[in-house]
Amino acid sequence: MRLDLLLRLGPLTLVPFVFSWLSGTSLRSLGLVLTHPLRDLLVAIPAGVAGFAIAAAFNVYLSRRSGRWFVPTTPDLLIQSGYYLVLNAPIEEWFFRGFLQGSLARWWNAPLLALLVATATFGAYHFLDRWGWRPVAGASAAGLGLGLIYLWQPSPASLLAPVLVHAAITCGFLSLGPYVVWRLRASG
């Protein structure tokens, strides 16, 4: 995780701040706003539950194909899930939705094109972890859903709903999802 923070999440955090400072763009216009939290939660809860379930099922599919199962231990589970909720999801959403998708939509006045570019970039970014094409395709599909959640918000768009759904999807794919599936299989 330390290497991930230094090489990936650090730059993803700094680039929007530097952009904001150099361009005079407000952080509010990059999604750092909490204007409709109840609406965000009403969107994030069902979308997060669905995303978690789909991601866990996708993990099972990939694990069966490869014959390799990764199930975190209980301490790892807590650390990983906290990391995804507190650092990974907020920082990735801040960069890919708030900064990249939001800025491109404003510059090009083409929100759907910005959505597609941000989604493709988000998917390609996951190749940095040396993921194969199937997990990257799954990350891209998740990125498209997250981008749509961000796009369809009332103005000013907030990162709260995409962050919560992103964290749920990541936990479903990499931490709590595999753990729950393993526990269900062990008990049944």
The 10s digit of each residue's pLDDT in 102-139 is 999 999 999 999 999 999 999 999 998 888 999 999 99
The 10s digit of each residue's pLDDT in 47-97 is 999 999 999 999 999 999 999 988 999 889 999 999 999 999 999 999 999
Neighbours of 148 (CB within 10 A): 15
Identify whether the C-beta of residue 172 lies closer than 8 Å to the C-beta of residue 55: yes
Return the domain boundaries, the chain.
36-187
The 10s digit of each residue's pLDDT in 4-13 is 878 889 999 9
SS3 69: coil
Identify whether the C-beta of residue 164 lies closer than 8 Å to the C-beta of residue 74: no
